[in-house]
Structure 1
């Protein structure tokens, strides 16, 4: 891709191509750490403390079955444990291990600082704020979103 040709593309095409490129680099960065997108989301939710699989599924906006597979992979990798809930011994909770806490922190750092993930991004926080505003404005319930 010639730089001058890319600079002439419509914004929609730039966003689409950038999204595919970032997703690919992010998937590689996560795979190097033994993670998937779903696994990282589960770890992120567990940073706040132990949760049931059902609560994790709701927080991640996925089915219970999908979260069950994700937790099973995280268990095999040593990133989480299942423990009996002290308040209700019939229920199991998913907890972060030290290894899970470390890999989560490393993935968060890589997202913000690793040039292999976001390439030439100059101001991560400003870019992130713009993405949040875009999704909020165009997504469901947003001013420009479907009514």
Structure 2
């Protein structure tokens, strides 16, 4: 069990290192990168949708969108269905980042997983879902209580 815990810790550190490398490469900070990831993954979103997804205040989200727009990774357009709402859309430059940086990671991950059979993949998927639920519950615990930490 200790080995699994250590490998999870190392995996988290590798995700952090990758995100930092991507942010540095793009000239962004990590918060802006999180916002860009949401826009790339979800299509056009309102600022409120981004704010909810990355758990930022509206002001912080607007600042991040401003920086992403200046960097050429997003544009703002009026929503055709609700003219008072602005949608944030990934630009072609952002799609290039997705193709050149993020898709290779996905392909490498798929290649690494190809050595497992369907039953093993089902166990891996169950573990990943369980691990995410544990992390979400612990995040909630830390953000909704003021009790001393044990």
Separation of aligned partners in 2, 1:35 and 1:87: 31
In structure 2, runs of 5+ residues without a counterpart are 142-150
Find the residue that maps to 1:75 and give its secondary structure.
helix
TM-score normalised by L of structure 1: 0.64
| 10 and 128 in structure 1: CA distance in 2 versus 1, 3 angstrom threshold | closer
Separation of aligned partners in 1, 2:63 and 2:54: 13
Separation of aligned partners in 2, 1:128 and 1:110: 21
Residues 1-147 of structure 1: pairs in structure 2 closer than 5 A: 10-47=3-40, 48-113=42-107, 122-123=112-113, 129=125, 130-137=127-134, 139-140=136-137
- Measured after TM superposition, the shift of residue 38 of structure 1 is 3.2
Find the residue that maps to 1:140 and give its secondary structure.
helix
Answer whether contact 1:40 1:104 (CA < 8 A) is retained.
Answer: no
- Measured after TM superposition, the shift of residue 122 of structure 1 is 3.1
| 122 and 79 in structure 1: CA distance in 2 versus 1, 3 angstrom threshold | same
- Measured after TM superposition, the shift of residue 137 of structure 1 is 4.5
Find the residue that maps to 1:89 and give its secondary structure.
coil
| 33 and 123 in structure 1: CA distance in 2 versus 1, 3 angstrom threshold | farther
Structure with more helix by fraction: 2
In structure 1, runs of 5+ residues without a counterpart are 1-8
Greater relative contact order: 1 or 2 (C-alpha under 8 angstroms, separation 6 or more)? 1
Greater Cα shift, 32-41 or 99-108 = 32-41
| 26 and 123 in structure 1: CA distance in 2 versus 1, 3 angstrom threshold | farther
Aligned length: 130
CA RMSD of aligned residues (A): 3.5
Answer whether contact 1:30 1:107 (CA < 8 A) is retained.
Answer: no
TM-score normalised by L of structure 2: 0.63
CA offsets 1:115-143 (integer angstroms, 9 cap, x no match): xxx8xx932895973433312255429xx
